[in-house]
């Protein structure tokens, strides 16, 4: 079997789309599974869409996701450059060959004529297609126009009434009639190639064996097939991936939620979870397994098992997977994450011991789905309560509460050095018994006083972590404040 070489070929629009992430992942998995190479190529042939820093963002997002490319920008594998904008001479040369063989031709039509033509066709409910007006230009006419510096494009000369048939790994046989295919512009008037030309030339020159890309490319694949034929090149294997969809089943878009990998990163999702989730959107191994690490994905992946219908991006399932992955992270990882998040937070002035932070992690891990959430759900480990939850106040703060809590604080103060969370339990239970009330009558207001909240770890864990001194002082504060 020939060498497996696949590419992820995004256009640098500013960020990595999760759909793009999945495309990249499938390419990556396929490459790794088959001892092939995963190549990153930047399709920056549209000057009007140039975005500052986009390539850097893209590469960073891929790196964060763990999809390291074998060849690409700054990583030459002998097939570079990997920026299409740096390969203009190559495209020009091949375009000239096409023109010489009459498989492409110069077109000098103005945008106005093109628009008028399209409008006319549309009004008659005809397919919008270039009318090959410039195909009939003579050599001398072309030369004259060229000399006169009239702007031109080079168009693909689609033969009429032929069938173009190709095989797609995911969709099997696909057939198009050339009568329905437009004479695609190959070289734009600014001298840049369009995607269609550049992609075929680069895939051939870069020795790409499998073209794995989104379904939106399926309709233009016959143009590419024609180009391969005109050049006399071997056609790569195609695999057109189903689209990722919004909940309303339209193509996944910004308007209906987050689509950038960096958005998910910012929200605290882990790359492992995001990758695991996205891998399952359109692929499965044929069994019930849903939790995967990268190495297992590589081991099991095959294009043949990719689905052929679009998949809704279901954030709930992502949340679940994120949680599953999160629970399996080693403590040291969580600790270092928490430290760096704290450093960037409003609580960055204090210095917390590893021991302290580890206790927090242990108490919160079942209650959050990311380290970031620890700060959101339990700020009380880092600051005294700034306010007290109204609902809990109404429910748990009774007229006799201040007196009870003061008494409890007094008894806590009598405790020696705290060595176990249950040290707090005894005085609390005793007081409850003496007053002939349920422990809950003390526990709920106590939690509120100490944390300002009504939810969180077990109350004894809570007290043990924040410590005896802070517990007592916070009770004092709460009694005054509430």
Partner RNA sequence: GGCGCGUUCGUCUAGUGGCUUAGGACGCCGCCCUCUCAAGGCGGAGAUCACGGGUUCGAACCCCGUACGCGCUACCA
201-260 positions binding RNA, by CB under 7 A: 215-220, 242-243, 245, 247, 249-251
Q: Does 457 contact RNA by CB under 7 A?
A: yes
CA atoms within 13 A on the CB side of 116: 5
* Residue of the chain from 86, 160, 256, 307 that contacts RNA (CB under 7 A): 307
> Between residue 35 and residue 64, which ones bind RNA under the rule CB under 7 A?
43, 45-46, 48-49
First to last CA, the chain: 76
* Residue of the chain from 53, 159, 257, 440 that contacts RNA (CB under 7 A): 440
* Residue of the chain from 3, 86, 101, 110 that contacts RNA (CB under 7 A): 110
Query: What are the phi and psi torsion angles at 240 (to 5°)?
Result: -100, 115
Q: Does 177 contact RNA by CB under 7 A?
A: yes
Q: Does 11 contact RNA by CB under 7 A?
A: yes
As given in the structure block, the two tokens for residue 162 are 């032929």
**CB closer to RNA, 182 vs 207:** 182
* Residue of the chain from 76, 299, 314, 391 that contacts RNA (CB under 7 A): 314
> Between residue 344 and residue 373, which ones bind RNA under the rule CB under 7 A?
366-367
**CB closer to RNA, 406 vs 455:** 455
Q: Does 109 contact RNA by CB under 7 A?
A: yes
Q: Does 111 contact RNA by CB under 7 A?
A: yes
* Residue of the chain from 75, 92, 133, 317 that contacts RNA (CB under 7 A): 317
Identify the CA nearest to 456 among candidates 345, 391, 327, 365: 365
Query: Are 196 and 224 a contacting pair, CB within 8 Å?
Result: yes
| Rounded least distance, CB 282 to RNA, Å | 4
What is the x/- site pattern for RNA, positions 384-423, by CB under 7 A?
----------------------------------------
Mark the segment that binds RNA (CB under 7 A) among 29-37, 85-93, 254-262, 451-459: 451-459
**CB closer to RNA, 11 vs 473:** 11
How many Cβ atoms sit within 10 Å of the Cβ of residue 360? 22
Sheet containing 163-168: give its strands across: 37-40, 5-8, 210-214, 237-241, 163-168, 172-177
Instruction: State yes or no: is 254 an active-site residue.
Output: yes
**Active-site position among 249, 254, 289, 328:** 254
> Between residue 274 and residue 293, which ones bind RNA under the rule CB under 7 A?
280-282, 284, 286, 288, 290
* Residue of the chain from 320, 347, 352, 356 that contacts RNA (CB under 7 A): 320
* Residue of the chain from 101, 167, 256, 308 that contacts RNA (CB under 7 A): 308
What is the x/- site pattern for RNA, positions 146-175, by CB under 7 A?
-----x-x-----------------xx-xx
Catalytic center residues: 254
């Amino acid at each position: 079997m020939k060498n497996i070489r696949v590419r992820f070929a995004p256009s640098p629009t500013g960020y990595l789309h999760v759909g793009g992430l999945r495309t990249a992942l499938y390419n990556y998995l396929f490459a790794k599974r088959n001892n092939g190479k995963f190549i990153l190529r930047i399709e920056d042939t549209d000057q009007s869409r140039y975005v500052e820093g986009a390539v850097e963002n893209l590469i960073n997002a891929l790196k964060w996701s763990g999809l390291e490319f074998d060849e690409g920008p700054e990583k030459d594998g002998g097939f570079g450059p990997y920026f299409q904008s740096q390969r203009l001479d190559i495209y020009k040369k091949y375009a000239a060959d096409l023109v010489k063989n009459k498989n492409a031709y110069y077109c000098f039509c103005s945008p106005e004529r093109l628009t008028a033509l399209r409008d006319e066709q549309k009004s008659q409910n005809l397919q919008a297609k270039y009318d090959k007006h410039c195909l009939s230009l003579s050599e001398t006419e072309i030369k004259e126009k060229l000399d006169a510096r009239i702007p031109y494009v080079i168009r693909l000369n689609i033969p009429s009434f032929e069938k173009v048939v190709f095989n797609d790994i995911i969709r099997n046989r696909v057939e198009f009639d050339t009568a329905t295919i437009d004479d695609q512009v190959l070289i734009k008037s600014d001298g840049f190639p369009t995607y269609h030309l550049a992609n075929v030339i680069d895939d051939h020159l870069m020795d790409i064996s499998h073209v794995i890309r989104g379904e939106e490319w399926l309709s233009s694949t016959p143009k590419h097939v024609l180009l391969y034929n005109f050049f006399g090149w071997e056609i790569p294997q195609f695999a057109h991936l189903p689209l990722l969809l919004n909940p309303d089943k339209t193509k996944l878009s910004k308007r209906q939620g987050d689509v950038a990998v960096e958005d998910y990163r910012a929200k605290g999702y882990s790359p492992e979870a995001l990758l695991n989730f996205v891998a399952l959107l359109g692929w499965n191994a044929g069994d019930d397994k849903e939790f995967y690490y990268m190495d297992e994905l590589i081991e099991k992946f095959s294009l043949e098992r990719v689905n052929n219908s679009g998949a809704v991006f279901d954030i709930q399932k992502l949340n679940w997977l994120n949680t599953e992955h999160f629970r399996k992270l080693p403590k040291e990882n969580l600790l270092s994450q928490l430290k760096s998040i704290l450093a960037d937070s409003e609580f960055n002035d204090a210095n917390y011991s590893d021991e302290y932070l580890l206790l927090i992690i242990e108490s919160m891990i079942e209650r959050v789905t990311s380290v970031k959430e620890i700060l959101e759900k339990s700020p009380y480990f880092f600051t005294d309560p700034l306010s007290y939850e109204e609902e809990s106040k109404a429910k748990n703060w009774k007229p006799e509460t201040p007196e009870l809590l003061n008494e409890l604080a007094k008894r806590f103060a009598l405790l020696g050095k705290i060595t176990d969370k249950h040290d707090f339990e005894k005085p609390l239970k005793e007081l409850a018994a003496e007053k002939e009330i349920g422990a809950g009558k003390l526990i709920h207001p106590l939690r509120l006083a100490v944390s300002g909240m009504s939810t969180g770890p077990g109350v004894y864990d809570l007290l043990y972590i924040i410590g005896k001194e802070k517990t007592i002082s916070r009770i004092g504060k709460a009694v005054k404040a509430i």
